[in-house]
A and B are shown apart, each in its own frame.
Chain A
Amino acid sequence: MSISSKLVDDFIANDVSFITTVPCKQLAGVIDEVEARPEIHHVPANKEDEGMGLCAGAFMGGKRPAIIMQNTAIGVTINTLVTLTQFYRMPLPMLISYRGELREPVSCQVEMAVHTKALLNQLHIPTYHFHRESDADEFDTILKYTFMCNKPVAILTDASFWGGYGDQ
């Protein structure tokens, strides 16, 4: 089974039925998988803070939401994370591509990578880092934890986890 279908199976098994996405090259496979599953209402967003607003509404409407985005979006969403998701105590699993780590071909991505964990730490957001494929075994438990504690939770997935960037 592909890693993308395993992750989406875990979303579905945890009753996550509303997912908003902003693409990253690393996330193309998992976004295709989200789009393909009838159990999931997939709403592409134009900006990640907008996506978090959609997730907040879906949560209050009784659905379990999630967002799939790139780590650069931490810079876009800090205000929303603290004044909406955390302030009103809402759960939000954030499946994040961790660009700018080992094997990264685009130098600019490193600029946000060096701040990613520090920012998440400063925001007191529980953070998990998937580096090897087997790290995804914990995804199911992380989702249960997220909806237990009603917090945004970050799952950083780096290039090694996704098997690199293809031809380089």
Chain B
Amino acid sequence: MIRSDVLRDIAPIIRDHLVICNIGLPSQELHMIDDQPTNFYMLGTMGLASSIGLGLAMAQDKPVISIDGDGSVLTNFGTLPTIANNVADNFILLIVDNGSYGSTGDQPTYAGKKTSLAAVASACGCENVVECAAEDTGKTLQAALDSGKMTIIVCKCESGNIKLPVITKDPVVIRDRFMTAVKA
């Protein structure tokens, strides 16, 4: 399974929740598969999906799912100690770990080599860290939502991309629509 298959699988689970979606192909795929006002698409700023999601989770009570990438977590490693030490039980960080910088052509990341993001998250002090196979992402995510505990999920999937268009929505429209959904 590649990232777009994982997103297709979890779309029914996440569609009613607040989602912060990572830059590049993950946002484009989610936008194509199931565009929702509850989706915040990052059009830039690689690395900050987890930080935005945590800030959002701390500021209000609804569940928040950040869909992140292995490369993006590697570039903002400082996020993991911040998450560990500021527990927000309405926050789920779903790292789609395809072992590559997918959006830029699947150059390999260190997460696909010796570095285990789940081990790093645990070492940083995160308490509920689950690594799962791509096929099990849906049930792992549902269990995390049901647990009411802040959870870090590292979904191991294959690298690979589908062809699809960029998002042309204006960023202020994305943000305004999202904030209206947050308040609803």
CB-defined contacts of B53 to chain A, threshold 8 Å: 57
Please report whether the interface of chain B is mostly helix, strand, loop or mixed according to DSSP.
helix
Q: How far is the CA of A60 from the CA of B53 in the complex (A)?
A: 10
Note all chain B residues with C-beta closer than 8 A to A47: 76, 78
Nearest neighbor of B174 in chain A, beta-carbon distance? A88
Q: Knowing A43-B86, A47-B78, A60-B175, say if A79 contacts B56 (CB, 8 Å).
A: no
Given A54-B54, A55-B55, A57-B52, are A80 and B82 also a contact pair (CB < 8 Å)? no
Q: Does A56 contact B (CB under 8 A)?
A: yes
Q: Mark B139-158 against chain A: 1 for CB-CB distance below 8 A, else 0.
A: 00000000000000000000
Q: Which residues of B contact A18 (CB under 8 A)?
A: 55, 58-59
Q: Which of B82, B178, B182 contacts A43 (CB 8 A)?
A: B82
B10 within 8 A of A: no
CA distance A61 to B178 in the complex (A): 10
Report B159 CB to chain A, min CB distance, Å.
25
Let me know if B58 and A58 touch, CB within 8 A.
yes
A62-B183, A87-B43 as given contacts; A56 in contact with B48, CB under 8 Å: yes
List A contacts of B82 (CB < 8 A): 43-46, 50, 54
Total contacts A-B at CB 8 Å: 114
CB of B60 closer than 8 Å to a CB of A: yes
From residue 80 to 126 of chain B, which have CB atoms closer than 8 A to chain A? 81-82, 86
Q: B33-52, CB under 8 A of A: which get 1 and which 0?
A: 00000001011110110111
**15 further A-B pairs in the complex, CB-CB below 8 A; given A18-B55, A83-B44:** A50-B79, A53-B55, A55-B55, A56-B55, A57-B20, A57-B51, A57-B55, A57-B57, A61-B182, A62-B182, A63-B59, A79-B44, A79-B45, A84-B52, A87-B43
Which residues of B come within 8 Å of A, CB atoms?
Answer: 20, 40, 42-45, 47-48, 50-60, 64, 76, 78-79, 81-82, 86, 171-172, 174-175, 178-179, 182-183
A-B contact pairs, 22 of them (CB 8 A): A41-B58, A43-B58, A45-B51, A46-B79, A51-B51, A53-B47, A53-B48, A53-B50, A53-B52, A53-B76, A54-B55, A54-B82, A56-B55, A57-B57, A58-B55, A60-B56, A61-B55, A61-B60, A79-B45, A84-B45, A88-B171, A90-B175
